[in-house]
Amino acid sequence: MVGFGLVVYLFVLWLILGNTSAVALVMFSVPGFFAGTILRLRREAADALAQRGRELEEERELFADLAVRRERARIASELHDIVGHAISVMVIQAAAGQRLVDHDPDRARQAFAAIAESARQGHDDLQRLVELLGGTEVGGPDLSLIEEVVTRAARGGLNVSCRFEGEGDGLAAPTAQVAFRVVQESLTNALRYAPGAAVRVLVNGAGREMIVSVENDHSIQERPGLAGTGHGLVGLRERVQELGGRLVAGPTPGGGWRVEATLPDGRRVRGRRG
Asked if residue 246 belongs to a domain, the reply is yes
Asked if residue 17 belongs to a domain, the reply is yes
Condensed to tens digits (0 to 9), the pLDDT of residues 131-152 reads 666 666 555 567 888 988 898 8
Based on the fold, state whether residues 147 and 39 are members of the same structural domain.
no
Residue 33: how many other CB atoms lie within 10 Å: 16
Based on the fold, state whether residues 150 and 39 are members of the same structural domain.
no
Count up the domains in the chain and report the number: 2
Contact call for residues 221 and 247 (beta carbons, < 8 A): no
Contact call for residues 187 and 149 (beta carbons, < 8 A): yes
Based on the fold, state whether residues 38 and 150 are members of the same structural domain.
no
Based on the fold, state whether residues 53 and 148 are members of the same structural domain.
no
- Residues with Cβ < 8 Å from 243, sequence gap 6 or more? 174, 175, 178, 263, 264
Asked if residue 120 belongs to a domain, the reply is no
Give the pLDDT score at 259: 96
Return the sign of the alpha-carbon dihedral for residues 191, 210, 261, 131.
positive
Based on the fold, state whether residues 152 and 54 are members of the same structural domain.
no
Asked if residue 78 belongs to a domain, the reply is no
Condensed to tens digits (0 to 9), the pLDDT of residues 99-115 reads 777 888 887 777 787 77
Asked if residue 254 belongs to a domain, the reply is yes
**Domain ranges, residue 18:** 2-58
Asked if residue 219 belongs to a domain, the reply is yes
Torsion-angle region of residue 197: left (phi > 0), alpha (psi -120 to 50) or beta? beta
CATH number for the domain that contains residue 155:
3.30.565.10
Asked if residue 43 belongs to a domain, the reply is yes
Flag whether the pTM goes above 0.75: no
Amino acid at 57: E
pLDDT at 274 over 50: no
Return the sign of the alpha-carbon dihedral for residues 76, 202, 146, 171.
negative
Closest CA to 213 of 244, 240, 238: 240
Asked if residue 231 belongs to a domain, the reply is yes
> Of 27, 58, 89, at which residue does a domain stop?
58
Based on the fold, state whether residues 43 and 148 are members of the same structural domain.
no
pLDDT at 273 over 50: no
Condensed to tens digits (0 to 9), the pLDDT of residues 47-106 reads 888 888 888 888 888 877 777 777 676 676 667 666 766 777 777 777 777 777 788 888
Condensed to tens digits (0 to 9), the pLDDT of residues 193-236 reads 888 899 999 999 877 888 999 999 988 777 666 555 556 788 88
